[in-house]
Structure 1
């Protein structure tokens, strides 16, 4: 049963936090820490910190929507939702946590997971690379300066190369692999936002140029324009912050979806995926994110952001206005607050 808890004794009506306990809902006091063997925060702690983060940042008026994709420029900038999903399957959410938005670059995370399942971590590193590029995510110069690899799977060049590695005899078969993987992570069917897909398809000449350049360097093979189309379509899949938290919790749960109990990612690939997230997940702001928050994360220009607390839970946020690097402003602030309050930084020791 869904319980609605509201914050009392406030001058204005507070947000309600929806809580859906899973089979592993815990009672009593819990120590808030990144320690994987310690009890999770209690439902009351999760509820309180979600409410506090939402109220702190819901009126923050910084950043702007991505305007180089016309469909994204039209999204209401006031939308803001946050969700937490634990490895036990407990779901906590507040605000517009179920409002649909385009997954955009966060899709790279799940396609990476699929390809790593198919090829293995070593082969993925060999073919695509895992190093930060030190340049914007859509840089052509990075391809020219580092022609022997594509930097990492989260810059556009590396993401298209990764998508090009998805197995399948036809375009439809490869798309079924990509969408099926994202749906297994989310534990539900996911639609493609056709308006976003059309808008991106009409404005993706830059990505087509990068793909052709990769072809000339031998870093992509076959139908590169077909790979660009698949990449464009995967970025147009529609999800919510709740979906994204479930997807992140699957990574936190060593590759097993906490709602379906089905394995989505090979367990041995999880450390490699989280490492790529930590180094490259927030574009050129990844270093600052690791410094401040200390969690593997991945953002998208649709306004989504997910952070993974290994073996414990995932935090996801949605808010369209972005900073100069392409990361959700409210999303970053909210997740940083939640992670700090709950002691989730993976670099903080848990000894005496």
Structure 2
């Protein structure tokens, strides 16, 4: 009888093609103009088990920027830099129920700090906590952390996407200045400096295999069996995985928890980082998005895989 990994290897290409049709139900993000060039019907998936064995299908060679997926790893780096108490003085631990770029509850709910680190306001606050004497040093530490977890020394940011976001990110600027007015960002924090690091962080470019490798490290509790190194303390991985379940798919996180039941984080480039604890890291790209910012074909494929192999953690 074939192992689960062998069964996935045999069937993933066919299931992926079945899911590709769901791309027609969404559209490619264009609020960052550079993202609009992505192929709407693309779909790729890489799955890596905790020993590094790999299965790929579809358009896995397509590079894409991490966008909001990066928030998971800057949270982990901030926790490693500052500890839980300091981090959660600046962001909360609850789902917001609002769009990822909403500022509604910052004004309506005391004490005015972001509800969690995976919405834009919370991620900006987290980026400000990364250690470094300059914006370049902060970003270099973020990039090098991502490179280490992905096992790839060449990961860098896409200058075109970075510039495009920098020139059009009026809502994120509003959020950041509101955070400063609420003392979530300290008096000595320069808003434009934090945003510059944040935009570069979001523009870090990966492919499905690199993303799956990052997921594999999280699936294994922060320990990379391929290199034999503990890269992230287990406690912080627990925190990150919990946020992925409760907040990782924007304000469709509850629906995804019911339909798939695995930790995941999406980005508006169409990427999805998912993991099956103790077993697999998964990287998906499908640029066509639903109205909540999640890949339509990617969701379809992950829900199919989870149902097929009973992956739900619930």
Shorter-chain TM band: over 0.9
Match of 1:168 among 117, 121, 132: 132
Give the corresponding residue for 1:7: none
Distance 1:225 1:102 in 2: 21
Normalised to the residue count of structure 2, the TM-score between the two structures is 0.95
Give the corresponding residue for 1:200: 165
Following superposition, the deviation at residue 142 of structure 1 comes to 2.2
Match of 1:48 among 10, 13, 17: 10
Kept in 2, the 8 Å contact 1:86–1:258? The answer is: no
Instruction: Tell me whether 1:87 sits opposite 2:54 in the alignment.
Output: no
Q: 1:205 to 1:331 in 2, by over 3 A?
A: same
Following superposition, the deviation at residue 223 of structure 1 comes to 1.6
Question: Root-mean-square deviation (CA), in Å?
Answer: 1.3
Distance 1:82 1:258 in 2: 21
Kept in 2, the 8 Å contact 1:120–1:269? The answer is: no
Instruction: Tell me whether 1:296 sits opposite 2:260 in the alignment.
Output: no
Match of 1:73 among 36, 58, 62: 36
Larger radius of gyration: 1
Secondary structure (helix, strand or coil) at the match of 1:317 reads: strand
Match of 2:281 among 314, 323, 337: 314
Normalised to the residue count of structure 1, the TM-score between the two structures is 0.85
Matches within 5 A, 1:105-144: 105-144=68-107
**Deviation readout 1:297-326 (Å, 9 max, x if unpaired):** 100000001211111112221010000100
Distance 2:250 2:258 in 1: 14
**Deviation readout 1:234-268 (Å, 9 max, x if unpaired):** 11111111111111111001102343333221112
Kept in 2, the 8 Å contact 1:315–1:335? The answer is: no
Distance 2:158 2:33 in 1: 13
Kept in 2, the 8 Å contact 1:104–1:236? The answer is: yes
Give the corresponding residue for 1:185: 149
Tell me the matched-pair count: 309
Instruction: Tell me whether 1:154 sits opposite 2:121 in the alignment.
Output: no
Give the corresponding residue for 2:304: 337
Distance 1:273 1:122 in 2: 15
Following superposition, the deviation at residue 147 of structure 1 comes to 4.6
Mind listing any 5+ residue stretches in structure 2 that lack a counterpart? none
Kept in 2, the 8 Å contact 1:316–1:335? The answer is: no
- Write 1 or 2 for the structure with the bigger share of helix: 2
